[in-house]
Structure 1
Amino acid sequence: MTSTPLGLTVEEASLAYQGTPLFENLSLTLSPSSWCCLLGRSGCGKSSLLRLIAGLDTSKGAKVRLSDHAGNALPAQAFAWMAQQDALFPWLSVIENLLLGDRLQGQSKSSARRAEAIALLETLNLADKAEARPYVLSGGQRQRVALARTLMRPSPIVLMDEPFSAVDAITRYDLHQLATSLLSDRTVLMVTHDPGEALHLSDRILVLSPSGRLAPFDCGGPPKALSLSQRADAEQELITLLGHQ
């Protein structure tokens, strides 16, 4: 369970790589319980921006100011992270991977938290894998476990770095359905290379250019609310836009 939904305001986000700026003084604002996708050409700094927001980049010259929709500072606990690779610990069982965050934070083992994890695995059709090691799972199952681990954190803001790119199209569709349902009360910022995925999942799309500029993509309304034909037109427009960057 999460607490009251929070929005996210990012200000003065700046980052350089080997002395060359990737981006400077970027800002963005996300409404509570919204889903925003971040697109851009490879190497433009999308994942770097996400890592900066998550507090994972502490290199010299990296800076950012973060607050919620009411202007309050956000602690590290406000963010949950889901990467492209599932990063499951191979020597731990599925249930142990889900409860690892509790252990790392010094929380004692709780039957209530274990029951919560089992219930989540049931929702994801993985209850029979609770005691299995990750190596026996398929790629799609491992990503569902990674999603479950993200959900086990009560963080109201979820940062996702191409979390569905390593699975096949059918599995990706299933993960989309699960993620939009299970994350409906959280604020999501997700990096993707796939315009179709962004249009299917998001309320809003932002495009980061190789020159370090961040701009909204206007497709005439919330992307995921478009009709199939409107979405097809918007996808082609996005592909053209990215191709000209």
Structure 2
Amino acid sequence: MSSVGFDTPDAAPGIRLSGARLHYEGVALFDNLSLNLPAGRTSCLLGPSGVGKSSLLALLAGLNAAAEGKIEASDGAALQGRVAWMAQQDLLLPWLNVQDNVTLGDRLRRQPPKHARRLHLLEQVGLAERADSVPAALSGGMRQRVALARTLYENQPVIFMDEPFAALDAVTRLELQDLAGGLLAGRTVLLVTHDPLEALRLGHHLLVLTGRPARISEAFAPPGMPPRAPDDPSLLALQARLLAALRRKEGA
């Protein structure tokens, strides 16, 4: 662990989900679904709206009591207490300033904030000078930076992200992707996204969820390490391939 109490986990586990089942209003979203997340890598999950991506993420995080499935970590330990969640909305508390929103977890646990870790992360996301600002005084991109810092403040080896940059403008979204790609290195991450280019920029490998009941197929692993340049010609060519694959699967 670093001197500021924040470092990349040395042993982020791989995760295997098997036998996943979930019914909603009599319709089977999943039925005996399986999923593998490699240790210390970012997996990106794509698929059409309503197919069950967010439900699958919630199942893995233990937030969906209606779902069934066996979740195993590669190190044999339970995942409980080792997962951080980042939602699509920033979910900042309007009556708390930036630094108190970052340390919300400690507040809920009735623990003192880790000042060095908080400052380190606010510097990393470029908001150290806005530590005393309330959310209403921040732009949408700034608010998402706070949400990212809050997620990383928990310093967990496993992170689940549900379209966290979807509501941002194109330029801010690219900036946040670059930031997240660096800060999430070494952790086991599952990122749900509708954006093929985002998946190609941030994912070590890509997964596609389609059908009813839904099934997962692996698309392909982009070359190089994330975050990848958005104007890389090879990445843009892969984006065209991925879009075509997604259209075929949606039309199947």
Does structure 2 retain, via aligned residues, the 8 Å contact 1:219–1:234? no
- The two structures have a TM-score, normalised by structure 1, of 0.91
What is the DSSP-based 3-state SS (H/G/I as helix, E as strand, rest coil) of the residue aligned with 1:167?
coil
Deviation string, structure 1 residues 101-122 (Cα, Å, up to 9, x no partner): 0121232x14xx0221012101
What is the DSSP-based 3-state SS (H/G/I as helix, E as strand, rest coil) of the residue aligned with 2:211?
coil
Structure 1 residue ranges without an equivalent (≥5): none
Q: Tell me the equivalent position of 1:6.
A: 13
Q: Tell me the equivalent position of 2:93.
A: 89
1:217 maps to 2:219: yes
What's the C-alpha RMSD, in Å, of the aligned pairs?
Answer: 1.9
Q: Residues 232-243 of structure 1: matches in 2 within 5 Å?
A: 232-243=236-247
Q: Residues 124-139 of structure 1: matches in 2 within 5 Å?
A: 124-139=125-140
Question: How far apart are 1:170 and its partner, in Å?
Answer: 1.1
Q: Tell me the equivalent position of 2:26.
A: 19
2: CA distance between counterparts of 1:6 and 1:45? Answer: 24
Q: Tell me the equivalent position of 1:148.
A: 149
Q: Tell me the equivalent position of 2:121.
A: 120
- The farther-off stretch of 223-232 and 34-43 is 223-232
Alpha carbons of 1:223 and 1:129: their partners in 2 closer, same or farther (altered >3 Å)?
closer
Deviation string, structure 1 residues 20-40 (Cα, Å, up to 9, x no partner): 110112112222210100000
Match of residue 76, structure 1, among 74, 80, 83: 80
Question: How far apart are 1:229 and its partner, in Å?
Answer: 3.0
1: CA distance between counterparts of 2:156 and 2:222? Answer: 31
What is the DSSP-based 3-state SS (H/G/I as helix, E as strand, rest coil) of the residue aligned with 2:81?
helix
Letter in 1 for 2:216: L
Alpha carbons of 1:125 and 1:29: their partners in 2 closer, same or farther (altered >3 Å)?
same
1:187 maps to 2:188: yes
Question: How far apart are 1:219 and its partner, in Å?
Answer: 5.5
What is the DSSP-based 3-state SS (H/G/I as helix, E as strand, rest coil) of the residue aligned with 1:77?
coil
1: CA distance between counterparts of 2:152 and 2:221? Answer: 30
Question: How far apart are 1:155 and its partner, in Å?
Answer: 1.2
What is the DSSP-based 3-state SS (H/G/I as helix, E as strand, rest coil) of the residue aligned with 1:146?
helix
Does structure 2 retain, via aligned residues, the 8 Å contact 1:204–1:222? no
Does structure 2 retain, via aligned residues, the 8 Å contact 1:66–1:73? no
1:230 maps to 2:234: yes
- The two structures have a TM-score, normalised by structure 2, of 0.89
Question: How far apart are 1:73 and its partner, in Å?
Answer: 3.9
Q: Tell me the equivalent position of 2:60.
A: 53
1: CA distance between counterparts of 2:236 and 2:204? Answer: 16
Structure 2 residue ranges without an equivalent (≥5): 1-5
Q: Residues 203-214 of structure 1: matches in 2 within 5 Å?
A: 203-211=204-212, 212-214=214-216
Q: Tell me the equivalent position of 2:104.
A: 100
Question: How far apart are 1:233 and its partner, in Å?
Answer: 2.3
Question: How far apart are 1:221 and its partner, in Å?
Answer: 5.0
Question: How far apart are 1:228 and its partner, in Å?
Answer: 2.7
2: CA distance between counterparts of 1:167 and 1:152? Answer: 22
Q: Tell me the equivalent position of 1:169.
A: 170
Alpha carbons of 1:44 and 1:7: their partners in 2 closer, same or farther (altered >3 Å)?
same
1: CA distance between counterparts of 2:78 and 2:163? Answer: 24
Alpha carbons of 1:157 and 1:219: their partners in 2 closer, same or farther (altered >3 Å)?
closer
1:158 maps to 2:163: no
2: CA distance between counterparts of 1:50 and 1:21? Answer: 16
Question: How far apart are 1:238 and its partner, in Å?
Answer: 1.5
Deviation string, structure 1 residues 115-168 (Cα, Å, up to 9, x no partner): 210121012110111111111000000000000000011210000000111111
1: CA distance between counterparts of 2:36 and 2:162? Answer: 18
1: CA distance between counterparts of 2:185 and 2:201? Answer: 14
Moved over 4 A (4+): 219-227
